[in-house]
Amino acid sequence: MDLEIAEMRLLESTDLNGPMAWAWVSKSPTNTEISNRLYGDLSNPKSFSNLLEIADEIVSMNVQPGSELTPFGESFVKGPSASRKTVRGETESWISITAPLKHVLSTRSGVHQIDSSLENGSVNQLRWNGSHWYCAGTDGRGLVAVATHFGFDFDKEGIDSPLLCMNGGGGAARSSAVAWAQSGGKIWSSGGRRPLGNRGPWAGHLIEGDTVVDHLGKRLLIDFDLNPGEPLSIPSVSADLHLVSSYNSGVVEQLVGQTDTGTSLDGRWLLTAQHLYAWADLFAPLMVEELPGLAQTVAWLNQFESALRAD
């Protein structure tokens, strides 16, 4: 891959002015850089070199075929169906943002969207090419990728189509509803702190609670109202796949677990998938064929995290 990463930062900000200023001016005084307990200080060359050395060793390890990480084989993210009309810059800044900043940008922000993330308030990826800003929302594409990896068939229709049982209506929930609907699945919104609403692109794919009982398709359950780092709880309803929307910052207990109600997945699966799509959709779509598979990336990141904790 003909790509050089010159700088990496973890920035803490209550708005997007700080991160976006970082893209324009190196070491903008408005930024608060984070010294992460796991990664250390990324602005320190010694810490950064240590991360690269560990990563270089780990990427030589391959995920085992037939493991719990690949119950249906490996899967790879797909590039955009149409060529993105974006201009590459000699030097670019790529930014991943999280709640509560996902809904800050609007269609009047002067940012070019490659999807409907501005209308849906679900932006979580930004790219500055030196002249223009581009944005995307990859939470939904990541969710669909995880479901497909664990055997959900979006070619099935009607009562046999995949069913998303979702709590919450924030940016990640809206992004997921859009992607799930575009893939052909059905959605049951159980409520949450913020209602999903029935006026979005997902409107024609919503089903009511009394219809859920008779739905035969595979079910994915996710609660987007979980607080960051909240541990896995046993779901109150049965589902083939229970995907945690957040993840505990402590030691990973199980990336894939089995409960009385189905298969449970640590939130690192969703985190990994959405960032693979950040590369495929926005950051480096021409390199999509070079990106590793979902299970392989999850395995690498898990080994990387374990190595840093033991360091």
Domain ranges of the chain: 11-138+275-310, 140-271
Measure the CA–CA gap between 106 and 104, rounded to whole angstroms.
7
SS3 at position 32: strand
Walk along the chain (311 residues) and give the pLDDT tens digit of each residue.
Answer: 678 888 888 888 888 887 888 787 654 445 566 777 777 777 778 888 888 899 999 998 888 777 899 999 999 998 776 656 677 888 899 999 887 788 888 888 889 999 989 998 889 999 999 888 999 999 999 999 999 999 999 999 999 999 999 999 988 999 999 999 999 999 999 888 888 988 889 999 999 888 888 899 999 999 988 776 565 555 556 889 999 887 766 777 789 988 777 899 999 999 999 999 999 999 998 889 999 999 999 999 999 999 888 87
Specify the DSSP class assigned to residue 71. Answer: B
* Helical axes 294-310 vs 268-278, angle rounded to 10°: 120
pLDDT at position 216: 93
Task: Name the one residue in this structure whose structure tokens are 């796991």.
Answer: 38
Measure the CA–CA gap between 214 and 218, rounded to whole angstroms.
12
Burial degree of 209 (CB within 10 A; 0-12, 13-18, 19+): exposed
Measure the CA–CA gap between 76 and 72, rounded to whole angstroms.
12
CB proximity list for 304: less than 8 A, separation 6 or greater:
54, 55, 58
Q: Which helix or strand (DSSP H or E) is residue 299 part of?
A: helix 294-310
User: pTM here?
Assistant: 0.91
Q: What are phi and psi of 79, to 5 degrees?
A: -75, 170
Would you identify the CATH topology of the domain 140-271? Rossmann fold (3.40.50)
C-alpha torsion sign, points 48, 51, 53, 56: negative
Alpha helices in 1-158 (DSSP H): 17-24, 45-58, 139-149
pLDDT at position 125: 95
Which of 137, 142, 170, 148 lies closest to 274, judged by CA? Answer: 142
With beta carbons less than 8 A apart as the criterion, state whether 238 and 180 touch.
Answer: no
Q: What are phi and psi of 227, to 5 degrees?
A: -75, 145
